[in-house]
Copies of this chain bind each other. A is one copy, B any other.
């Protein structure tokens, strides 16, 4: 009889920052019923990986779930996999954190399950060749990756059984290919189909191994799957058929590794599953890439050539989304600070754990899941980073009042940013536009400027103006689902030409409408927003300030005019506000007429934010979601979820545009219209004779709610 070895497994993960009810839903609809069903089929073995964010939530809320896993382990039914504890992309985090993440997972597994893991899961199966030595030095013997990695290295499908040896810097590591075929069949085909495939692959010597380890969320969390997998008993039927298949020998990966020789040597390129290649490409390239896939599909040769059709790789997200890059570089810099600071070991340990949490990959990229587009995920990253930074700073500086000013190339673009901080707030200012890039409220642990520009996405081309339709094929793979959308979203497909920072200085033609600014369909007469400013900084014990200056131009139909723009940010040691003093000088002989607009985009959740305005009498009136007002002297925003209030005040009166910054993105459930921030543009008429100046001050005051 032909026989085959089979290693089954599941990966359980929830992103840092996900809502409590989502954790609960996943546990009840997927993780628990999965393990309970598994318990009834003793022959079937399963590798199980639980990531750190979920691990901590389970420990706090449902420790009995780990009891169930331990029972399964005691019966020899599951092998627990290690990994980077908080599910980081290992290749892009600092060296010490790589070691620490793997070691932390090893310790937690040892404590909970009595033995260290032999193998590990790699987040999103993002591979780079140098990981072999990094992982091997973490005491791990094997990883599981997609068979696509191996095909990309030139191995043939017919060779992809068992495990291979890879190496870096002389350190060996075993790598198991996960069968893509089984990954697509389970649980989306009829339960018999994966069994048939296993039978087809079985051989006389019985030495082959097929591996299928994938997201446990496919079993119950993904749309429609709970009904299909549990209510209609897909999993039960599948496990029953497996149990009855006497040609299958169930193994865990390490059982197989202990008893079998490697199938060969392999070096895997920078790679993940095939789809990641498409997502990580810049949008224009992604469209070309899509058309290549379509052409090969039409020629019926895509399957044959897929190993050699490759898009970008994970790090491409850092180049594609500046917001991801900024968050990543900020994380690297906080990590460096935590590991370099002279603080007690206990403080460092706490702060280092915050940093490791902030390395959870989900918020840094975007594919079929919302990821980077979800404000609650980014919010959680910044929360951990701000907490780490505050821990170190309070340890170093104690309870005294202080204000600090430093320069560092936070976003790694070759130009230093200015960092100003005091016990209440921290802000980062860029020489590009002299804008504010980050503003942290330490008490609420919020980066108030954590928003997202509206980027063009390749899938926007697939958006069709149609009403939402019911999903007819509920258990279809999320890779196949046809999304529906609405006209409302089509209208929101506007793309920003600059980063949605704050203190962004526009010069508008008189009569420019709110809708035009909102939809990025206006003309900025100035050339300041993306230009590099000169910088002077000064610092005393009680106040730190940074002055940005630039001679630029306004471009009118009748010709360009020279303009000098100076803006000076000041922060006091005990203050909870940033003051910005503007001076705009017409450096031209001719007079200038325009509207000077300072743009702020303040992070907030869709329906949880309250915005009001005042005309200077301390009477606050609600400010509608989309509103254009005259003669306003202050605007106030409060976000109860994030726990802050921010007030923008200026001298005299100004006009105000207020509108939501909304992005259109895809997720596994369809298309999402997400409010990233409230944008407020403060507007002053700018009528300057040659040589004349305008001075204005804007005070940004923040306080916890």
A154 touches B286 (CB 8 A): yes
- A329 to B166 CA separation, bound complex (whole angstroms): 12
User: A156 at the A/B interface (Cβ < 8 Å)?
Assistant: yes
Give the nearest-CB partner of A133 in chain B. Answer: B95
- Residues facing B in A221-274 (CB within 8 A) are 261-262, 264-267, 269-270
Interface hits, A114-140 → B, CB 8 Å: 128-130
Residues in B with CB closer than 8 Å to A406 are none
Instruction: Report if A559 contacts B (CB, 8 A).
Output: no
**Which residues of chain A (68-121) have a CB below 8 Å from chain B?**
91, 94-95
A492 to B270, CA, bound (A): 37
What string of 1s and 0s marks CB contacts (under 8 Å) between A137-153 and chain B?
00000000000000011
Docked CA distance A128–B269 (Å): 9
For the complex, give the distance between the alpha carbons of A335 and B265 in Å. 22
Q: Mark A154-170, 1 if CB is under 8 A from B, else 0.
A: 11100000000101011
Of A312-320, A568-576, A597-605, A662-670, the one contacting chain B is A312-320
- The reply on A305 being an interface residue by CB < 8 A is yes
* In the complex with contacts A128-B128, A270-B269, A299-B295, A172-B412 CB distance below 8 A: yes
The smallest C-beta distance from A361 to any residue of chain B, in angstroms, reads: 15
Beta-carbon contacts under 8 Å, A315-359 to B? 315-316, 318-320, 325, 329, 332-333, 336
Q: How far is the CA of A703 from the CA of B167 in the complex (A)?
A: 36
Any B CB within 8 A of the CB of A310: yes
B325 and A265 form a contact (CB under 8 A): yes
Chain B residue nearest to A318 in the complex (CB): B267
Partner of A318, one of B154, B265, B304, B319: B265
Q: List 22 A-B contacts (CB under 8 A).
A: A153-B312, A153-B316, A153-B319, A154-B280, A154-B282, A154-B312, A155-B282, A165-B413, A167-B318, A167-B329, A167-B412, A170-B329, A261-B414, A262-B413, A262-B414, A265-B319, A265-B413, A267-B316, A288-B304, A295-B299, A295-B305, A308-B311
Within 8 A of B (CB), among A480-539: 532
State the 9 A-B residue pairs at the shortest beta-carbon distance, nearest first: A267-B315, A154-B285, A154-B281, A170-B332, A269-B270, A154-B282, A292-B305, A270-B270, A265-B319
Q: Is the CB of A264 within 8 A of B172?
A: no
In the complex, whether A632 has a CB less than 8 A from a CB of chain B is no
Q: Does A540 contact B (CB under 8 A)?
A: no
Residue from A267, A307, A318 whose CB has the most chain B CB atoms within 10 Å: A267
Q: In this complex, what residue of B is CB-closest to A315?
A: B267
Tell which of B152, B170, B325 touches A412, judged by Cβ atoms closer than 8 Å: B170
Select A292's contact among B129, B266, B281, B308, beta carbons within 8 Å: B308
**Interface presence of A301 (CB below 8 A):** yes
Q: Are B309 and A129 in contact (CB under 8 A)?
A: no
The verdict on A583 contacting chain B, using a C-beta distance below 8 Å, is: no
The yes or no answer to A289 lying at the interface (CB within 8 A) is yes
Residues of B with C-beta under 8 A to A305: 288, 292, 295
**Residues in B whose Cβ lies below 8 Å from that of A267:** 313, 315-316, 318-319
**In the complex, A40→B414 CA distance in Å?**
37
**Which residues from B are CB-within-8-Å of A609?**
none
* Interface check A284, CB cutoff 8 A: yes
Docked-complex contact A128 and B270, CB < 8 angstroms: yes
Q: A264 to B155, alpha carbons, bound, how many Å?
A: 35
From A265, A319, A413, A532, residue with most partner B Cβ within 10 Å: A319
Pick the residue among B156, B285, B325 that contacts A155 (CB under 8 A).
B285
On whether the beta carbons of B285 and A315 are closer than 8 Å, the reply is no
- Min distance, Cβ A601 to any Cβ of chain B, angstroms: 22
Q: Which residues A166-202 have CB closer than 8 A to chain B?
A: 167, 169-170, 172, 174
How far, in whole Å, are A289 and B301 apart by their CA atoms in the complex? 12
In Å, the complex CA distance between A152 and B307 comes to 15
A409 touches B (CB below 8 Å): yes
Least distance between A356 CB and chain B CB atoms (Å): 16
A169: chain B residues within 8 A (beta carbon): 94-95, 332
Contact B316–A284 (Cβ < 8 Å): no
- Asked, given contacts A130-B128, A299-B295, A308-B309, whether A316 binds B154 with beta carbons under 8 Å apart, the answer is yes
Q: With a CB–CB cut-off of 8 A, which chain B residues contact A152?
A: 310, 312
